[in-house]
Amino acid sequence: GIQVEQSPPDLILQEGANSTLRCNFSDSVNNLQWFHQNPWGQLINLFYIPSGTKQNGRLSATTVATERYSLLYISSSQTTDSGVYFCAVPLLYSGGGADGLTFGKGTHLIIQP
Amino acid sequence: NAGVTQTPKFRVLKTGQSMTLLCAQDMNHEYMYWYRQDPGMGLRLIHYSVGEGTTAKGEVPDGYNVSRLKKQNFLLGLESAAPSQTSVYFCASSYDEEWHTINTDTQYFGPGTRLTVL
């Protein structure tokens, strides 16, 4: 199956700083999603981004499918950005996502006031 | 819309006991999933369903069974719980056939069920 690696595993920043989180995957994909798991455990979908760039407020994401990586940018960090950020791709190469997702181990982000 | 809901939120079992976790979604989604999350790990797929009456195995299906008798509900059963099944269980859903968009495979997650098996 597809392997997903995220870096860095941990990141501690001061409020107002910018950060870049990286996701590498081992095979071509047609579906990539970024999630934020808040300190209470809730998983929120941030982006569905199989290729290209998307922006949503202070967050943006870029996926370069041909080079098998995706980046999540967080600008002007706030304490509410703390939590774990996961990227996920289809479990099966042939799947568009119907077969479920495989997740990286996540980046644990702590934003200090 | 309530989105994806899970029942119960917490449960403690003894080894060998059985239980059923209920997932419900009100988004008219075709696909539903059960994942487990262990400390320091990403989520791993247990079972999934691509429609009412269908189920399929994911990465870690052993020790679990599922049923999808109604489109909006997806049940996860543990017939004989083991300590290795102590985990947080998440249900997710995706794909509304009637509102097919470019983001149609976006998965929406429930709040999770924290299960401890002693």
Q: What would the DSSP string read from start to end of B1-16?
A: ---EEEE-SEEEE-TT
In this complex, is the C-beta atom of B58 within 8 Å of any C-beta atom belonging to chain A? yes
Query: For an interface test with A, which of B44, B107, B108 has the most A Cβ atoms less than 10 Å from its Cβ?
Result: B107
Map residue A81 onto helix, strand or coil. helix
**E-state strands within chain A:** 4-7, 10-14, 19-25, 33-37, 43-48, 52-56, 59-64, 69-74, 83-90, 101-103, 107-112
Examine the pLDDT at B103 and tell me if it is beyond 80: no
Q: Which of B42, B59, B105 lies closest to A97 in CB terms?
A: B105
CA distance B66 to B76: 5
Examine the pLDDT at B68 and tell me if it is beyond 90: yes
Q: What is the pLDDT of residue B104?
A: 62
Q: Which of residues 79-108 of A touch B (CB under 8 A)?
A: 86, 88, 91, 96-106
**Contact yes or no for A100 and B48 at CB 8 A:** yes
Identify the residue whose tokens are 């590498």: A24
Band of pLDDT at residue B101, cut at 50, 70 and 90: low
Q: What is the pLDDT of residue A52?
A: 94
Band of pLDDT at residue B40, cut at 50, 70 and 90: confident
In this complex, is the C-beta atom of B90 within 8 Å of any C-beta atom belonging to chain A? yes
Vertex A27 angle, CA B106 and A69, to 5°: 70
Short-list A20, A64, A86, A3, CA closest to B43:
A86
In this complex, is the C-beta atom of B43 within 8 Å of any C-beta atom belonging to chain A? yes
Q: Which of A31, A44, A100 lies closest to B58 in CB terms?
A: A100
Query: Average pLDDT of chain A?
Result: 92
Token couple for B99? 């509102």
Token couple for A22? 């990286």
Mean pLDDT of B22-33: 94
Task: Count Cβ–Cβ pairs < 8 Å, chain A vs chain B.
Answer: 70
Band of pLDDT at residue B41, cut at 50, 70 and 90: confident
- At position B75, the amino acid (one-letter code) is L
Q: What percent of chain A has pLDDT over 90?
A: 82
